[in-house]
Structure 1
Amino acid sequence: MHRRAFTLIEILICLVIISVVAALTVPFFGRDHADRAASGAALLRSDLRFAQLATMANPQDPVIVRFRSDGKGYWLARLTTPETPLVRSDTGAAWSEIMGSGRARSADHVTLATTGVSGATLRFTPLGSVHAPSGTPKVTLTAGGPGGAPASCSVTIDTSTGTSTLTVP
């Protein structure tokens, strides 16, 4: 009578394969929060650069960046109409970013906290520097949500050049 079963070697090979696959995939689960925060930061840096260049191109009516009081996003507007988002020329939609939706959908569960930004408004001068800074402008993006510990990164804006730097702890 022959019993059909796995040998010890076959079981050990399966365990080794499962262990290798698990070891390769586990680090990706923890990176999700960090990736979402970095995604939101990349979008913010792009929009900051646009606001800076648009202000330099049309200094009579600068483009400003307004941060939502609830920390869920921001919008770009003209200084003369700060509560009305610009209309994007490529999509015709309002230039308003809410983390987790639209262009910022990959930044789900990300919140923004500003320091060195007066009145939740960031404005550039015609030469590209930050207008009337109240310190070094910095936006900290924190990704939370289900699974894993929260992760954060920050975007710091140089007051004299207006360039932004991403810092990931």
Structure 2
Amino acid sequence: MILTMMYFDVSSSPARRPRRAFTLVEMLIVVVILGIIANLSLAMLGSVETTKLRSAAELLEADLSLARVQSLAHSDDLRVIVIDQPNNRYYLTTAADTDTPLTNSVDKQPYIVKFGSGRAFKLGSVAISAYDFGDDNQLQFGQYGQLDQPDDATITLASGSRTLTITLDAATGEPTLGPIE
């Protein structure tokens, strides 16, 4: 007696055929995941602009504080912050010569801060949108740190649709960062 082995080709049976397409449920899951990723990406983009705006304001606040402290230390040659809004920059100078920026003691370069270059090179999307120094573009600190004007001074920075205002107290010269709006 000869035994014959019979085998069946299971690959041709309808139940075992390989799938060649995605199901509707799989497609819906992918679309939902892509939607979540896109939503998070858009939220992070807004966060980047807010971070740049906050960083620019903190840089300006530090420079304003430096000018104030240097005026306290150099009461014979008071410090001035000059805003050059058309060129989106500001610089630190002396009351005796407001056209010549001071030399930065760290890098030995003129103390000019332009958003988008130098030490503020990553802040190119930030702009000086407004300022109120009374009737000019110069803010002088007195020998006790006070401002050269009777009213508080303000500087507003903008990035995209967001703004942040720095207010300087007229009596003390202390800068205060406002909320991002």
TM over 0.5: yes
Bigger Cα displacement from structure 2, 32-41 vs 13-22: 32-41
Q: 1:51 aligns with which of 67, 73, 80?
A: 67
TM-score (norm 2): 0.81
Q: How many residues align?
A: 163
In structure 1, the residue corresponding to 2:99 is in which secondary structure?
A: strand
Match of 1:127 in 2: 144
* Identical-residue share of aligned pairs (%): 29
CA distance in 2, matches of 1:56, 1:136: 19
Greater length-normalized contact order (CA 8 Å, ≥ 6 residues apart): 1
- Normalising by structure 1, report the TM-score: 0.86
Per mean C-alpha deviation after superposition, the further-off stretch among 119-128 and 32-41 is 32-41
Opposite residue 75 of structure 1, the aligned amino acid is Y
Cα RMSD (Å): 1.9
In 1, the alpha carbon distance for the partners of 2:28 and 2:143 equals 68
Q: Residues 161 and 134 of structure 1: is their aligned pair in 2 closer, same or farther, counting only changes over 3 Å?
A: closer
Q: How far 1:134 sits from its partner (Å)? A: 5.0
Any conservation in 1 of the 2:150–2:170 contact (CA below 8 Å)? no
Structure 1: gaps (5+ residues): 145-149
8 Å contact kept, 1:143–1:151: yes
- Tell me whether 1:24 sits opposite 2:24 in the alignment: no
Task: Note the alpha carbon deviations across 1:127-165, whole angstroms, 9 max, x for none.
Answer: 11112x152200111224xxxxx2211111011121111
Give 1:71 shift: 5.5
Q: What do residues 77-116 of structure 1 show as CA deviations (whole Å, max 9, x unaligned)?
A: 1111211111111111110011111112232143322113
2:133 and 2:139 in contact (8 A); partners too: no
Q: Which one of the candidate residues 156, 162, 167 is aligned to 2:167?
A: 156
What does residue range 91-102 of structure 1 map to in structure 2 within 5 Å?
91-102=107-118
